[in-house]
Amino acid sequence: MYVAVKGGERAIDNAHAWLAEERRGDPALPLMSVAQIREQMALAVNRVMAEGSLYDPDLAALAIRQARGDLIEAVFLIRAYRTTLPRIGASRPVDTGAMAVDRRISATFKDLPGGQVLGPTFDYTHRLLDFADQAAIDPAPLAAPDTAPVPHVTAILDRDGLIEPVPHDDTPAPDLTREPLELPACRALRLQALARADEGFTLALAYSTQRGYGRTHAFVGELRIGRVPVEMDVPELGFAIEIGEIELTECETVNQFKGSRTEPAQFTRGYGLVMGQSERKAIAVSLVDRALRWQELGEDFTGAPAQDAEFVLSHCDNIQATGFLEHIKLPHYVDFQAELELVRRLRAEAQEAQP
């Protein structure tokens, strides 16, 4: 148990003053601007937005600078700031089918309507450190944009009945930020928790399913990254307007099929949708989402961590996790005194009992 203690104010003030100095680093070097972080550390900014669960690139960039690049600390700052803002409302569900795609690839179909678009990817780079000055870059080549629609790959399988259908449904979404998480959690709640889950934890869980702990035989049916408009109904106006545009990464997996004597075999689905350009996270979410669906799909529970909703949902939030983990470094003097007394007494008793 943590017990409040007094004292140490001067030490704390001085520690924070030193922290400010360390954060600034060598004063001979220019201070990084928030805009520089937003533009040149965009994937760190995206991660902080996704896990902070607040889309605002400038805020995320500011948090990263304040946190000295500690992304979990930055997420913490964003979560804390978020609680100071009133909730204006909820958007209409975004239409990812109408996304202006920067990237769209499929590992299941080579030729597909809309094509395979690589986008600004690290894939196929050699992962060699480049010591050259990156100040001057060649402009990226341009090509005539294709204005044809880019349908979801799973819609192609769905058309032929080869994958489980996902009928349109307007059940209101439960909100993790308004009501405490209760188990069993529905898929909408799980996807919200995973969208803001720690990337490392989600990656490790997803990897565990690939290695056999709740295997689901996933193919990336489609991965798409791009911008979608966000629409909201405004009661004062009496109609919906676009209130902004956000970047999203969406992954749909095509998984092991199921079938029976009465039902023909069909592929199943996993889904991940994450703020920003965050494809490792989106793929990981879709694998974990699929593993968590074992009961709904009539599969066996093998005891794999990724199948255990309580385990996944109780440990995926890095702010909850770091809060509880790090609190043990705070003063526990009274607790410890009690334990110390107990150990001393046990030792004394043991000594007396000896002949």
Interface of this chain with other proteins, residues 66 to 95, rule: CB under 8 A: 82, 85-94
Site for other proteins in 293-352 (CB under 8 A): none
Give CA 94 to chain center in angstroms.
18
Is residue 116 a contact point for other proteins (CB under 8 A)?
yes
Whether residue 307 contacts residue 292, with contact meaning beta carbons closer than 8 Å, is answered with yes
Q: Measured between alpha carbons, how far is 67 from 21 in angstroms, rounded to an integer?
A: 13
Choose which of 144, 328, 350, 353 interacts with other proteins (CB under 8 A).
144
C-alpha–C-alpha distance, residues 59 and 38, integer Å: 9
Residues in contact with other proteins, shown as a per-residue x/- string from 36 to 65 under the rule CB under 8 A: -------------xx--xxxx-xx------
Q: Is 142 in the site for other proteins (CB under 8 A)?
A: yes
> Taking CB under 8 A as the rule, does residue 233 contact other proteins?
no
57 preceded by a cis bond (ω within 30 of 0) = no
| Closer residue to other proteins in complex, CB, 25/115 | 115
Stretch of residues binding other proteins (CB under 8 A), selected from 68-76, 236-244, 304-312, 317-325? 236-244
> Rule CB under 8 A: is residue 189 a binding residue for other proteins?
yes
Q: Which residues pair with 223 in a beta bridge?
A: 105, 251
Sorted by sequence, the CB contacts under 8 Å of residue 157 that are 6+ apart come out as: 163, 221, 254, 267
| Residue placing its CB nearer to other proteins in the complex, 79 or 280 | 79
Contact region with other proteins (CB under 8 A), list: 35-43, 273-281, 308-316, 343-351 = 273-281
Candidate list 185, 199, 223, 252; residue touching other proteins; CB under 8 A: 252
CB of 320 to other proteins, least distance (A): 16
State which of residues 27, 30, 167, 180 lies at the interface with other proteins (CB under 8 A).
Answer: 167
| Helix (H) or strand (E) run with residue 325 in it | helix 318-327
Residue 66 CB: number of other CB atoms within 10 A? 15
Q: List C-alpha distances in Å: 49 to 148, 291, 298, 337.
A: 31, 25, 35, 42
The least CB distance from residue 264 to other proteins, in Å, is 20
Q: Pick the closer one to other proteins by CB: 39 or 341.
A: 39
CB of 298 to other proteins, least distance (A): 18
Q: Is 149 in the site for other proteins (CB under 8 A)?
A: no
Which residue among 37, 72, 101, 157 contacts other proteins (CB under 8 A)?
101
Q: Is 19 in the site for other proteins (CB under 8 A)?
A: no
How many C-beta neighbours within 10 Å does residue 354 have? 5
As given in the structure block, the two tokens for residue 86 are: 């009133």
Minimum CB separation of residue 61 from other proteins in Å reads 13
What 3-state class would DSSP assign to 48? helix
Q: Which of 267, 326, 282, 335 lies closest to 108, judged by CA?
A: 267
Residue with tokens 């890095």: 318
Strand, coil or helix: what is 220? strand
Cβ closer to other proteins: 273 or 288?
273
Q: Tokens representing 322?
A: 């770091």
What whole-number distance in Å separates Cα of residue 268 and Cα of residue 39?
38
Using rule CB under 8 A, residue 200 touches other proteins: no
Kindly state the smallest distance separating residue 276's Cβ from other proteins, in Å.
10
Which CB, 14 or 177, lies closer to other proteins? 177
